[in-house]
Amino acid sequence: MAKKIVTLAGDGIGPEIMKAGLEVLAATAEKIGFEYEIDAKNFGGVAIDKEGNPLPEDTLNAAKDSDAILLAAIGHPKYNEATVRPEQGLLRLRKELGLFANIRPVKIFNQLKKLSPLKPEIIEGVDFIMVRELTGGIYFGEHTLDDDKARDVNDYNVEEITRIMKIAFETARTRGKKVTSVDKQNVLATSKLWRRVADQVALDYPDVTLEHQLVDSCAMLMITDPSRFDVIVTENLFGDILSDEASVLPGTLGVMPSASHSETGPSMYEPIHGSAPDIAGLGIANPVSMILSVAMMFKESFNLSEAAQIIENAVEKTFENGIFTKDLGGQATTKEMTQAIISNL
């Protein structure tokens, strides 16, 4: 039966990179005989403009009913002071679908090493996965804003920490067998619990080494010694910040994909970056983050590692051919980059 894929193109560069991702999806599907249907839905700013709601019920229902969801990006500065914002739709979608496990791989294609702002010897051997808790923490605690004071509540319970830890340890087991758990245990109560649960879960994984890092020193190590990491696991807010920091290693946000998983329902695949309003409509956005998100979907939702590999190899070959978008110092447009990748599939 054809797989149902819901697409949320969203705002800014979203539609431009979604188009690229869908072209690569179509070309790969044809190669391997994968049958699917696309259901494109309104989401984010575009849904606010059309329906007054960043996550219309029809979009949510389609997402819940799907086999996988592809999201490009949402958000625009025009909503900065608005009470209804595109980001609220994204947070609600993650919560409604129970997408607690956000997987953000950081791997540097050979040809990007020389483009990194960091020295080659620092970049050598970098290959880690950020496991970000995505449905808890300060993002989802109570928020109050008055004229003279404001408050954001950070909550975590043992169950929420245990399930994300298990994902991190299971992931490490298939790779370098090392988990770095990141917290602010010297100050925060939630972090004290975080560390306690990490130690507890580690007992079930004697083959995996657990190290604890405070988030401030982790931020420093990510730039001075990034190859020391294998799997990093951390709470929602720290994971948001550290994963954008990690994009400095390959030199751009434009090559960073992600997958978000729940316990039972459909998974969602999206670049880690936003709608890049500064370059929207110029046709120069790097589509690789979206294209690699499609690769992750093949592998993690449809168990088609071969399709994922075909896409990753094509991206690598395109870089080898010296084709880069502007964010990587090249001249290729979104369209040219996408066509080059398709011809290398």
Closest residue by Cα to residue 58 from 95, 18, 93, 21: 93
Catalytic (active site) residue 216: yes
Please tell me whether residue 272 binds ligand IPM under the rule CB under 6 A.
Answer: yes
Q: Is residue 279 close enough to count as binding ligand NAD by CB under 6 A?
A: yes
Q: Is 123 in the site for ligand NAD (CB under 6 A)?
A: no
Annotated active-site residue 184? The verdict is yes
Report in angstroms the alpha-carbon separations of 9 from 19, 46, 59, 233, 312. Answer: 8, 9, 12, 28, 22
Annotate each residue in 41-70 with x if it binds ligand NAD (CB under 6 A) or - if it does not, as one string: ------------------------------
Q: Which does 277 bind (CB under 5 to 8 A by kind): ligand IPM, Mn ion, ligand NAD, none?
A: ligand NAD
Annotated binding site: 94, 104, 132, 216, 240, 244, 274-286
Return the number of the residue (183 or 240) whose C-beta is nearest ligand IPM.
Answer: 240
For ligand IPM, the binding residue among 90, 123, 179, 222 (CB under 6 A) is: 90
Residues 6+ positions from 137 with CB-CB distance below 8 Å: 154, 155, 156, 190, 235, 236, 237
Identify what 286 binds: ligand NAD, ligand IPM, Mn ion, none; CB under 5 to 8 Å per kind: ligand NAD
Sequence-separated (6 or more) residues with CB below 8 Å from residue 244: 253, 272, 273
- Decide if 199 is catalytic: no
Asked whether 9 and 327 are in contact (CB, 8 A), the reply is no
Q: Do residues 223 and 297 touch, judged by C-beta distance below 8 A?
A: no
Taking the least distance from each CB to ligand NAD, the nearer of 285 and 342 is 285
Is the Cβ of residue 16 or residue 23 nearer to ligand IPM in the bound state?
Answer: 16
* Helices and strands per DSSP (H, E), number in the chain: 12, 12
The one catalytic residue in 49, 67, 127, 244 is 244
Q: What is the nearest approach in angstroms of ligand NAD to the Cβ of residue 275?
A: 4
The binder of ligand NAD chosen from 59, 102, 275, 338 (CB under 6 A)? 275
Residue 240 sits in the site that holds ligand IPM (CB under 6 A): yes
Task: List contacts with Mn ion (CB under 5 A).
Answer: 240
- Binding status of residue 249 toward ligand IPM by CB under 6 A: no
DSSP one-letter string for 266-323: -EEE--SS---TTTTTTT----HHHHHHHHHHHHHHH--HHHHHHHHHHHHHHHHTT-
Q: Which residues are annotated as a binding site for NAD(+)?
A: 274-286
Q: Which stretch, 83-91, 276-284, 288-296, 326-334, contacts ligand IPM (CB under 6 A)?
A: 83-91
DSSP 67-88: SEEEEEE---GGGTT-SS-HHH
- The distance from CA 286 to its chain's CA centroid, rounded to whole angstroms, is 15
| Among the listed residues 245, 218, 217, the one whose alpha carbon sits nearest the alpha carbon of residue 233 | 218
**Beta carbons within 8 Å of 181's beta carbon, 6+ residues apart:** 165, 168, 194, 195, 198, 210, 211, 212, 213, 233, 234
CB of residue 85 to ligand NAD, shortest distance in Å: 8
Half-sphere exposure (CA, 13 Å, Cβ side) for 229?
A: 33
- Is residue 7 within 8 Å of 41, Cβ to Cβ? yes
Stretch that binds ligand NAD, among 168-176, 204-212, 285-293, 306-314 (CB under 6 A): 285-293
Total residues interacting with ligand IPM, rule: CB under 6 A: 7
Asked if 253 touches ligand NAD (CB under 6 A), the answer is yes
Residues within the interface to ligand IPM (CB under 6 A): 75, 87, 90-91, 240, 272, 274
Residues within the interface to ligand NAD (CB under 6 A): 13, 17, 73-76, 87, 90, 253-254, 270, 273-279, 285-286, 289, 327
> Which residues participate in catalysis according to the annotation?
139, 184, 216, 240, 244
